[in-house]
Amino acid sequence: LLATLASSWLRVSEVAGLTTAQIAPKGSSYVVLIRGKNDVEVREAPLSREAFGHIQAWLEQRPVQSSVIFTAFAGRGERALARAMSVVSIWRVVRKYAAANDLDNVKPHDFRRFVGTQLARSNLRMAQKALGHKRLETTARHYILDELEAGLTDGLY
């Protein structure tokens, strides 16, 4: 789940309903075929080979059959269900593992923000496409840090 959030930049609602049919090989890696909150057509979101491997390992070990990848648990996580995890459950998982690593206030969307910002620093248009933004201005506004970096003018002349 965490590797999928980190490498696909999907919104938590998109990850909650993710199915095996939405994952497709592309070159030496994988993509997720997704229709996001404002998408008219299906778009490709990247999925790392590592995340794909974790998904495959989970599907092999999962005690229930379902087309949904991240399935819910009942009780105190003792009984697997075939339905999708809720957005709230995904939030709880992210918060649990963040706390276990002494990280405060981590939210599922923080994965999207971090990776989107990293990509936007090197290629704003690629970030726009991967994040599914209609307008380049949206990507620039939310994923570009306005701080000046030391050495910014080094090598200009």
Q: Could you report the per-residue pLDDT of 108-151, keeping only the tens digit for each?
A: 888 888 878 878 878 888 887 777 777 888 878 777 656 656 66
Instruction: Indicate the residue type of 116.
Output: G
pLDDT of amino acid 144: 66
Helices 124-131 and 108-122, axial angle in degrees (round to 10): 150
Beta strand residue intervals within 27-145, DSSP E: 29-34, 43-47, 71-74, 79-84
Phi-psi region of 155 (alpha: psi -120 to 50; beta: other; left: phi over 0): left
Q: Which two tokens stand for residue 34?
A: 């997704």
Place 50 in a pLDDT band, splitting at 50, 70 and 90. Answer: very high
Place 35 in a pLDDT band, splitting at 50, 70 and 90. Answer: confident
Average pLDDT over residues 32-54: 85
Q: Is the pLDDT of residue 45 over 90?
A: no
Instruction: Indicate the residue type of 104.
Output: D
**Mean pLDDT score of the chain, rounded to an integer?**
85
Average pLDDT over residues 11-25: 93
- DSSP string computed for 86-104: PHHHHHHHHHHHHHHTT--
pLDDT of amino acid 111: 83
pLDDT digits (tens, 9 = 90+) for 84-108: 999 999 999 999 999 999 988 888 8
Half-sphere exposure of 79 (CA within 13 A, CB side): 2
